[in-house]
Amino acid sequence: MAALAIIYRFISEPNAFRTTANESFILQEIPRMKPFFDTIEKVPLTREQSEAVVTDEDATRVLAAAGSGKTSVIVAKAAYLVTKRLRRPNEILMLAYGKAAAKEMSERVKNRSGHEITAWTFHRLGNTIIREVEGRGPPLASYAEDEKLLFALIKDLASNLVASDAVFAHTMKIWFAEFFAPYKSLFDFGSYSEYLVYVRTTELRTLQGELVKSFEECEIANFLFLNGVAYEYEREYEHDTSSSLRRSYTPDFWLSDYGIYIEHFGVRKVRDRDGRVRRGPNGKELLEPPAYFDRTRYLNDMSDKIELHANMGTVLRHPLIFEQGRAAF
């Protein structure tokens, strides 16, 4: 009777059985293939990357930020399929946008697994299909070999879509406001000099055109710009604070229409090992800058700025870097 009950449930709820079976397989396969996942790339694959590799569906979509390891997933997936004899090398199609990326993918699979799997560019694949079907290669468009013409075409297409499609226009605004570069905060670096190199090479420039000193400042500026809030970046403070020992004070942002200053402080909440926020004797949450800063000096400078605004009667708002990594008011 128990066997019949199982068969009946399978017939009545096949999708549920399928989901359970897949979840069970993934739970067992990832630890079983751990040596493979630890060595297929220079850095061992994460749990999420390993799950993307062993998931066997008609289509698997991987959403991840730039530089987070999507190519590693593709390389590992191709090598995994051949290693497990689920597919032969000539049954796998790896695609990349550029020749360099395609070559790198092929080399990484070869060097790490020993399997010969050739990655193609989208252009090469399309061109090959047309040649096989029509017996001759198609003529190339003028912008295919001219980067300036290609850029002009893409710009024109994007402009037309922004003007005609409200959803696309909103998506473009969010993209340029928040995803203009891989997010990194002060806490992601071992020294301040390393962080400065990142800032210089990334060129953190706002939608209004300013070159700013941190990713969070850029996000704040872009948020203000997209919401129609007029601001000035590092405008000299309305009260004279300069002396022979220090230059004039320039808060990060001045909201001219509201008479509000915004300062972004590179600190985060101090937490215990169990994740609880630590508090000082006065009950206030404890904050900390990156380890390579002089903590006392940084926090004193932060307090001095807050006190200055209070004494001068000017309004200050100060977003903080929280554990999720982004600036928030």
221 class by beta-carbon count within 10 Å (0-12 exposed, 13-18 middle, 19+ buried): buried
pTM for this one? 0.56
154 lies in the same domain as 123: no
CB proximity list for 207: less than 8 A, separation 6 or greater: 176, 177, 221, 222, 225, 226
- Specify if 19 maps to a domain: no
- Specify if 221 maps to a domain: yes
In angstroms, the Cα distances linking 275 to 39, 124, 278 are 32, 51, 9
In tens digits, what is the pLDDT along the chain, a chain of 329 residues? 677 877 877 788 888 878 888 888 889 999 999 999 999 998 899 999 999 999 988 888 888 777 778 889 999 999 999 999 999 999 999 999 888 989 999 999 999 888 999 999 998 899 899 999 988 888 878 887 788 898 899 999 999 998 999 999 888 888 877 777 888 888 889 999 999 998 888 888 898 999 999 888 998 999 899 889 999 999 999 998 876 557 789 999 999 999 999 999 988 888 888 878 888 888 888 889 999 999 999 999 999 999 999 999 999 987 654 444 454 44
101 lies in the same domain as 150: no
For position 95, what pLDDT does the model report?
A: 93
For position 232, what pLDDT does the model report?
A: 95
Task: Classify the C-alpha dihedral 133-134-135-139 as positive or negative.
Answer: negative
225 lies in the same domain as 316: yes
Region at 203 (left for phi over 0; alpha for psi -120 to 50; beta for the rest):
left
323 lies in the same domain as 295: yes
247 lies in the same domain as 313: yes
Q: Are 82 and 89 in contact (CB under 8 A)?
A: yes
For position 319, what pLDDT does the model report?
A: 67
* Closest to 218 (Cα-Cα) out of 200, 237, 233: 233
155 lies in the same domain as 53: no
* Domain total of the chain: 3
- Specify if 52 maps to a domain: yes
CB proximity list for 267: less than 8 A, separation 6 or greater: 287, 288, 289, 298, 299, 302, 320, 321
For position 320, what pLDDT does the model report?
A: 54
Q: Which domain holds residue 319?
A: 186-328
CB proximity list for 109: less than 8 A, separation 6 or greater: 75, 78, 79, 94, 115, 117, 119
198 lies in the same domain as 290: yes
